[in-house]
Amino acid sequence: MATRFDLEAAMAAWRRPLEHARAFLDDDIDELETHLRDHVDRLIADGLDEEAAFRRATARLGVVFEIEPEYRKVRWVKHRHRRSLWREVIWEGAMLKNYMMVALRTMRRQKGYTAINIVGLAVGLVCCLLIGVYVYHEATYDRFHEHADRIYRVIYNWQEGREAPAPPRSEFSAWGSAAAGPPLAADFPEVEQMVRFSGGHTLLLSRNDQSFQEEDY
């Protein structure tokens, strides 16, 4: 035997999730319910029965998860105007404390699962930090100079293994012949200044007619 549709019970069931969501104030829920009832009345006047009108109106209005984000955007502004901001902050702090207590209890009961999660999180954070440090080092290499955007380093491309069919292997190096410095400065007017350096146990820096010897660099 089919039961008769109860519009008031359906309205109460629709309203209940909204009352449990902190994003909605009582006035917001009342306004939404008034809008929903008006829509249902219009659909009934068009010839639909109460159940079909209610289902179509709620489908158009949306469920709580669809309309809650829009109300959450202005939640704190409403509390500030109503002078209930501090009470809401206290409630949020109490909920945070409750979440922490539940999390600690779960961690005590499931120690193995908790250890796996903590170790995985720690490894992930360490990897992210190492990758970040490496990327930062590469992006800021030699950027401490005052005119870093105008400084260029000449590198050498060494190729070997030219026999077919294997492709040649290339290696880039910042070391090369010191004889390349003066011709570059003489042939390219864009080169304002030139410096050469070499490796080994000591570092020799030369600029124009001046040379500097660095020990244990």
Among 86, 87, 105, CA closest to 97? 105
Both tokens of residue 98?
């409750």
Answer for the pair 44, 50: CB distance below 8 angstroms, yes or no. yes
Residue 33 CA to its chain's centroid (Å): 37
Both tokens of residue 64?
């709580």
Q: Where are the domains of the chain?
A: 7-83, 84-125, 148-215
| Chain segment 5-47, per-residue pLDDT in tens | 888 898 889 888 888 877 788 888 888 889 899 999 999 998 8
The DSSP result for 76-137, as a single string, is HHHHHHTT-HHHHHHHHHHHHHHHHHHHHHHHHH-HHHHHHHHHHHHHHHHHHHHHHHHHHH
> Between 91 and 43, where is the model more confident?
43
Answer for the pair 176, 164: CB distance below 8 angstroms, yes or no. no
Both tokens of residue 38?
């008006």
64-68, 145-149, 163-167, 186-190: segment of lowest average pLDDT: 163-167
**β strands within the chain, DSSP E:** 156-160, 169-173, 195-198, 202-207, 210-215
pLDDT class of 178 with cuts at 50, 70, 90: confident
Q: How long, in residues, is the chain? A: 217
CA 68 to CA 70: how far, in whole Å?
5
Q: Which of 76-80, 99-103, 118-122, 200-204 is most confident? A: 118-122
pTM value is 0.42
| Chain segment 102-142, per-residue pLDDT in tens | 989 988 898 898 999 999 999 999 999 999 999 998 888 77
| Chain segment 54-63, per-residue pLDDT in tens | 999 888 888 7
In this predicted structure, the answer to whether residue 174 has a pLDDT above a threshold of 80 is no
pLDDT of residue 153: 81
Query: How far is residue 23 from each of residues 64, 69, 90, 102, 202, measured CA to CA in Å?
Result: 10, 8, 15, 23, 69
Which residues lie below 8 Å from residue 185, measured CB to CB, with a gap of 6+?
A: 191, 193, 194
